[in-house]
Amino acid sequence: MRHHLILRVITKLLIGTIMLFALYVQFHGDYSPGGGFQAGVIMAVAFIIYGIVFSLDDVQRVLPPWVVHKMAAAGVLIYAGTGVYSLFAGYAFLDYAALSPHHPVHGQHYGILLVELGVGVTVTGVMVTIYYAFTSRTPILDDEAW
Amino acid sequence: MQAFDWDFIVGHMNYWLFIVLMMTGFYIVVAKGNLVKKIVGLNIFQTAVFMLYISIGKVTGGTAPIFPLDMEVDPAVTYSNPLPHVLILTAIVVGVATTSLGLALIVRIREEYGTIEEDELLKIEKEIALQDIRQHSEVIGERG
Amino acid sequence: MATALAVVRAQSLFATAMLSGVFSLLSALLLVVLDAVDVAFTEAAVGAGISTVLMLGTLALTRRFESPPSHSPVLPLFVVLVTGAALIYGTLDMPNFGSATAPAQVHVGPDYIERSVEEIDVPNIVTAILASYRGFDTLGETAVVFTAGIGVLLLLSGLRRRRRDKKEDV
């Protein structure tokens, strides 16, 4: 991949934009199409494109596998933790009014934000995990065979 | 029902289109021996089901279920049913997760057996089973 | 449609993977027409992006061409045609496309649309339902995605370590 100069420069430019777009989709999901699932996938794509154009070692130096595994678990934990918190605050499981007792509607906003964050982190983690798992095996074909 | 009820035919065209797509995917799953191709067929089937669901939620003259930013909802505007959208949204992501699980299984199968064609797999399986039976019958024979 | 048929014919698995990506993108366009912008967004990102990458990753680990079919396609074709006919017979009772009085439109759907304005106050109704009214569902889905990730990890990385151990034993 040493000689693909244009590909590498364009990728470097794109990755920042893709990540920014993922964050926009994540936190603007209340107002426009988007949300945790889409944002998670787009964020994962940013890492995957880096892995494809450069190499698996490069992307794993930025984002080591153990971080990704922890991310996948942490997202589910954030989601379930929100539910457990509202349970201990005296509300029903996942009743977001618990997050802001004086303004139940604001509580809904916080709740949705937190839960979507959990979903996004999990989806990113799992997608990157899957990508790592597939590419870390030695390929039988070399590049020229395609 | 009359012989040519155009209203009826046009109104049901969407279902029929998606069913034809679904059956295309189904055909690939059943008839093709290659495991990767089976997964692709399953994906086509899956996407057709998604579109069938979404088309049920569509209302004529409706728009995407997003309110204006200032939350001043105009009662004259009709929105399409958002519930199918939610269900399918999650289903797509779960779908890709299960697809990747299937592909991972295929990679493992290839590493164990050296092939991803169903016929060859069955042949190898049969040989292994026959060998097993032969071995076991020898053991039983010695005991007898 | 044509893309799906092309997938049936293509012998090269590389072409199949690419065609399935194209198919996803086209279906995403169709979903936009059907007012499901959120779903179309997901389909475009997942179907055309991640799925294709994973498909190619698998092909790199396996092989590129499918061997020609060994048995006749008559029986599968028959099964598929019968199933399709049964499904089409089932749709004859369905309401017309886009009808506002269809059973699917009169129960919970409008209820969510009306109530979410004051109860949740989030413009995107899909997000409101996804995260709030159906929060349990989404928690379950997240758990499923997580589980699938663990499954792939077990299948593809755990066993390699074991094989290495075996080699050391030898």
Q: What is the per-residue pLDDT across A101-112, written as a single tens digit (0 to 9) for each? A: 777 777 777 888
Closest C-chain CA to A118: C142
Q: What is the per-residue pLDDT across C93-149, written as a single tens digit (0 to 9) for each? A: 777 776 666 666 666 666 777 676 666 667 777 777 777 777 788 888 888 888 888
C119-150 as b/e: b if 16+ CB within 10 A: bbbbbbbbbbbbbbbbbeebbebbebbbbbbe
Hey, what amino acid is at C82? V
Q: What is the per-residue pLDDT across B90-122, written as a single tens digit (0 to 9) for each? A: 888 888 888 888 888 888 888 777 777 777 778
C-contacting residues of A 27-46, CB under 8 Å? 29-35, 37-38, 41-42, 44-45
Hey, what amino acid is at B119? D
Q: Angle, nearest 10°, between helix axes C2-9 and B35-57?
A: 170
Nearest to C58 by CA among A48, A144, A54, B105: B105
Our CA-based measurement puts residue C109 at a distance from the nearest CA of chain B, in whole angstroms, of: 5
Q: Domain spans of chain C?
A: 1-67
Asked if A146 is an interface residue toward chain C (Cβ–Cβ < 8 A), one would say yes
Domains of chain B: 6-64+74-113 (1.10.287.3510)
* Contact between residue C129 and residue B82 where contact means Cβ atoms under 8 Å apart: yes
* Contact between residue C139 and residue A119 where contact means Cβ atoms under 8 Å apart: no
A100-130 as b/e: b if 16+ CB within 10 A: eeeebeebbbebbbbbbbbbbbbbbbbbbbb
How far is B25 from B34, CA to CA, in rounded Å? 14
State the DSSP code for B74: -
Asked if A112 is an interface residue toward chain C (Cβ–Cβ < 8 A), one would say yes
> Does residue C155 surpass a pLDDT of 70?
yes
- Using alpha carbons, list the distances in angstroms from residue B36 to B120, C53, C86, C129: 14, 13, 28, 35
For C4, the token pair is 């799906």
> Does residue C165 surpass a pLDDT of 80?
no
- Using alpha carbons, list the distances in angstroms from residue A117 to B55, B119, C60: 29, 46, 33
Closest A-chain CA to B105: A134
A-contacting residues of C 137-156, CB under 8 Å? 138-139, 142-143, 145-146, 148-150, 152-153, 155-156
Our CA-based measurement puts residue C134 at a distance from the nearest CA of chain A, in whole angstroms, of: 10
